[in-house]
Amino acid sequence: MADNPIVHIVDDDAAVRQSLAFLLGSAGLAVRLYDSATAFLAGLPELKGGCLITDMRMPGMTGLELLHELRAKACGLPAIVVTGHGDVPLAVEAMKAGAVDFIEKPFAKAALLGAIEDGYARIEQSSRARARAKDAAVRLGALTPREKDVLQGLARGLPNKTIAYDLGISPRTVEIHRANLMTKLEVASLSDALRVAFAAGMGDEPDAPVPA
């Protein structure tokens, strides 16, 4: 879990807010309380990260509407929805809108803490994936268009001969491009080159049909 994470609790019920604050505070977590989604959004520009716990049904802006608003603002705050038993379909919709989990009332302390920890873990994984993709894009920028074509073929699992046939070049030329791209990518093995390719989103295209 992140160091000294702040948990932002959004609920129109004061008793629920205080109960959650006591529960999470006893676990060593700092909390901030908001009585509405609009109050939370008003302070969004000053937030330094953390985790969001929001009730689903609230007057004015609902928890689902809050998630849609955060998604529109590209806010990466992990969000957990607290919902009543009858709100499960809405909770599923909330997860489609970006919530990392939903907790049904009444909930156990361990379940809520587990959801918070899982939320931070997912954000950290996403951050690492974005960093890898950015690094891969920089590395691929050093390749020529033909070297990228060869790497794309390798990422699709094609042998040198097939890549050569598809590109209209000789297998020997493919080998030369392959050696050059590995040097430019600063990798020592094909598996390392493929990791860079996959991080950049290569290898997703279907195999091109080979003419008879």
Residue-level pLDDT at 169? 96
Spell out the domain ranges in the chain.
6-135, 141-199
- 59-84 burial: b if 16+ Cβ within 10 Å, else e: eebbbbebbbbbeeeeeebbbbbbbe
State the angle between helix axes of 88-96 and 63-72 in degrees (0 to 180), rounded to the nearest 10: 0
Instruction: Provide the strand spans (E) within the chain.
Output: 6-10, 30-34, 51-55, 79-83, 101-104
Give the global pTM. Answer: 0.61
Q: Which fold has domain 141-199?
A: Arc Repressor Mutant, subunit A (1.10.10)
Angle of CA points 179, 182, 188, to nearest 5°: 105
pLDDT in tens, 160-201: 999 999 999 999 999 999 999 999 999 988 888 998 999 888
CATH of domain 6-135: 3.40.50.2300
Per-residue confidence (pLDDT) for residue 212, from 0 to 100 = 26
The confidence score (pLDDT) of residue 3 equals 54
